[in-house]
Structure 1
């Protein structure tokens, strides 16, 4: 077997035992190498020492738990092998710039250090496999319009553009906007439609803007809450047709679903994906909900 396969066995062992006090000897044994041999080859392949890798993975999971649960900081600290609240706080602050309690109070949206997969290909059929940012994104409160769309009719009559234009006509009524330059779009599919031919698929298309609060919903609009969740984030430059800086030869979702996802090691979660559109800068951020 290659070095990649054997070091991946060690990485898999770390992941299974992430809440344990893992010894270097045990990790090296999982790879089949002696400790000196393992220590020498791990960092060049992974990009950091084994000790640093374990620390990053533990802190990343701890940050996710802090952001998404109400469990006590002490319980989370003990789960990831920290002997005391104080030791966990010191280490966490060095990485995230604030204490766990402060991080939780400000509704942190941590960038996450995910498990390394050495066996994923850098290319598939000659196409580069991108590495998106992985983030725990906070809840968003949106206000906009939602319409049922048939994909065949959309392709024929450009329905999505009509919905966007309708929203722009109505948007002056919206109060408490968070950022007037950013618009949000989301697609909700009927599971029974997924097996149909593309032109027969129906979905609910939402287009709107983020608000800080919503006490009065303007006539014809709907409120939508995007829950806090883990997302892979792709940045699309519409002017240059690049995704995360790489030239794109196919539609964005075709690349994400057909190229990136099967090679990523992630699975899609039940939370809806969404897009954040900055028309002034010709940028669209695609938030793909993962687990």
Structure 2
């Protein structure tokens, strides 16, 4: 996987003035665009689209400052339909407009060329099991929330605490399928996993077709398939977020599995009364790699 990501970085560099065919590259590498984008985002700390934009504006800055072409010509060269659109992208990266940069020579912010390297990790074994599940449903209360990479997601926290205690009990009694217990479900995520983008969050349970779901609950259908189930215990949600990062940096590069589209599910097995610590299972939909 490290070789895939470095090849992707090389192709970005070779095609800074053109649209990058990520899907075609993923197919050629024997993986999927979904998996490639998710691994890049997690390991690089930024979405692929953001890296491309930063590198493009880093290289474009040299053309702007040199004055070798008019700003519209530079905009078109880097794939923008107008000088205004190029100017917005340029300012979002450098903090100054192209005109100011040309006049004053900067300031300019450089995005270095990324290079992924394998490091020796995994001193502690990861607690993971692989599960094959038939199709099932997730039932509960859904809402749209922003994606937060680190710390508490206050939108999710407010959504869950707004539910009455008896509602949690009702949901728990409804569940009859694995993953068991009350679940935190994230789905409809941005392919690049950009922080701040919206996702659908559901607080609920897993149910089979035998369960008649009350009409006041939201339902998400889940296709049959394989799941990698990671178990962890510690401060919440920091431990959970660390486990997700470790799946990308340690588990997926070492195992013949890749992510497939589907919801990410967190089952809380045990927790402190104030939810400061918890034992959780992170369920990720996976498929065998080629």
Shorter-chain-normalised TM-score: which range?
0.3 to 0.5
| TM-score, structure 2 as length reference | 0.45
Structure of greater relative contact order (alpha carbons < 8 Å, 6+ residues apart)? 2
